[in-house]
Structure 1
Amino acid sequence: MQPFRRLTAIACPLPLTGVDTDQLIPARFMKRTRAEGYGDVLLHDLRFDAAGAPVPDFPLNHPQRQGAAILVTRRNFGTGSSREAAVYALADHGIRCVVAPSFGDIFAANAVNNGLLPARAEEADAEALLALLAGGLTDLTVDLDTCRIQAGEHAVSFAVDPVWRTKLLNGWDDIDLTLHHLPDIDAFVARDRVARPWATPPAA
């Protein structure tokens, strides 16, 4: 995965509470293969009307928000079913960071495993960012080294699980994280062979 350290990009406000995974990608689109991509159906039933035309006042459809890589929203983002395709839809649309006061647990874990940062901000800070973006601010800077978000002259902090932070900073998946501890694992195995020789299977 691509490491995530510092991102300055267009940010899109999504002032909604409880956006669930079925809203992020409606189930009928999950017949697609990953190779086909899910970016064009992200939040489909909110972004488009019944005839398939873009809803003009939906934030992701605004001309100034095209190419957004940061999404700022309200609490309980990504709740609902455990479908990883919800993260695929965000990633394929170009979103690399979602800022919210809280996330669905499975969604957040899936996000990290796909290189997407779930940045947990205090509710008042998320509301402040939403207000700034609604007022015309376009870009935010998200710094994972310092866990800070810069919005013009305004800055807020965010939280992320320390293990997830390590994985994102290095672009690691779970296997990479395990391999990082390989010297410690090898040292344990060597000590254990001395301490418990009877537990080591005989060589084939």
Structure 2
Amino acid sequence: MTENSNGQDLVQTDAVEQNAAVSADAAESAAAPKKARPRKGIIAAIVAVVVIVAAGAGFWVWHEQPSFCNAVCHSPMDKYVESYTSNDPGKLVTQHAQAGDGCLDCHEAEITTQVSEVMAWVSDSYPMGEDGMLATGKEFANEEFCARPECHSMADIVDATWGFEGNDAKYNPHSSHQDNQLECGDCHKVHETSQLYCAKCHQLNLPEGWEAASE
């Protein structure tokens, strides 16, 4: 009887200890703070921000491409974008395109200019020529603009164009007797066929695709 009694006591003691351990674990689990789960609203907000940033970055990349210029403003920009992809050697835009230059490398995206252009387009108040080009009378292709440090060096251009296109070595359109009265745009046409001003008086070989300037 004594042995049975002792055995029962041991079993009961083990059961009590196990119950106590389980209760302690349960109490510890209840006391531990529950991990907060991300709310759906926060996740949705993060996704929205990522989408907006990606869309903005994509728009900015597109904004720097020639295709952006006439995506909406077909008139007057179609002719300009067409000339960019024409591979016409007589148009200066071809050399810029082959060098990897885009529209904004020359036409700087200043906010004031862009706003005025949008207003002119919306109000349909921009002058157009019969050739489908803008007829603003503005000419920015001058030495001050073209010979900037990040673009062209006039000294290098002068050195490289003595006897240009196989002409006599005494001829150089960038160092002529015109005493610097000519600007770059008098010969170099970006979106139209370039014209050699010197050929008004001199019989000269013309660069490929160029025309002799008329009187």
* TM-score after normalising by structure 2: 0.22
Q: Which has the higher helix share?
A: 2
Larger CA Rg, structure 1 vs 2: 2
- Greater share of strand residues, 1 or 2? 1
Q: Relative contact order (alpha carbons < 8 A, sep ≥ 6): 1 or 2 greater?
A: 1
